[in-house]
Amino acid sequence: MRLLVIEDDDPTASYLVRGLTESGHVVDRARNGEDGLALALEGLYTVIILDRRLPILDGIGVVVSLRKADIVTPVLMVSAIAGMTDRVDGMRAGCDDYLAKPYAFAEVLARVEALARRADRGRRQSQLVVGDLMLDPAIRQAMRGGQEIHLQHRECLLLELLMRHAGQVVTRSMLLEAAWDYDFDPRGNIIDMHIHRLRQRIDDGHAHKLIQTVRGAGYMISAEAATER
């Protein structure tokens, strides 16, 4: 999953980002509500975790702005302000869950995963299928022709993006955004290297190659026979 943490307190943010990254997720962090809102409006994230008390624009303001923009990304609000009225205000603003500080990381992770599953069921896309290839992003399980394929977490993120855009060109920039955070400095042909490894896992041993190169544009996954591009 790609997650956004909006938290102005550096130790708290580092704690969350480290734990979520070690759990296999791609995590971006914003230090104030205005920057967080700008990132969230891009619609790239599976779940957003934000503090209620933020500089420039508070957490409630961020959520209200997102919902007005028809961004339905699940939001977990965390706050030391956690009375009944505060929780109700947060939920009415558009939050999907509300967690009181201090909290255990295990609870944050469990709530994030629950929000992601709920959103995934809502989209009815828990399993992606292209030809004889199936991917369940929630449990990182891929199968082709009934045989399980073992994927590293970045490979899973790249494959998920390709499959969600099956039959469409996916640019290198889109792939980079899907599997690496904004602080990552891409060097060399890292996307091509990962796609090469992904092809080895997905296509080797199969007559029909699903992952296709679109010259000068990017990559595409398709169950149809490849044509010259």
pLDDT in tens, 91-112: 888 999 998 888 899 999 999 9
- Which residues in the chain land under pLDDT 50? 124, 227-229
pLDDT of res. 29: 94
Q: Do 216 and 171 form a contact (C-beta atoms < 8 A)?
A: no
Q: What are the residue boundaries of the structural domains of the chain, listed by start?
A: 2-123, 128-221
CB atoms within 10 A of CB 193: 10
CA atoms of 74 and 115, how far apart (whole Å): 6
The answer to whether the 2-123 and 128-221 domains have the same CATH topology is: no
- Residue range 128-221, CATH number: 1.10.10.10
Alpha carbons within 13 angstroms on the beta-carbon side of residue 224 total: 6
H helices within the chain, ranges in order? Answer: 10-22, 33-40, 59-68, 84-93, 105-123, 153-164, 172-179, 190-202
Instruction: Quote the pLDDT of residue 6.
Output: 96
The whole-number pLDDT of residue 121 equals 61
pLDDT at 176: 84
Cα–Cα distance, 14 to 17 (Å, whole number) = 5
pLDDT, residue 157, reads: 86
Q: Are 49 and 5 in contact (CB under 8 A)?
A: yes
CB-CB contact of 45 with 3 (8 Å): yes
Superfamily of domain 2-123: Response regulator (3.40.50.2300)
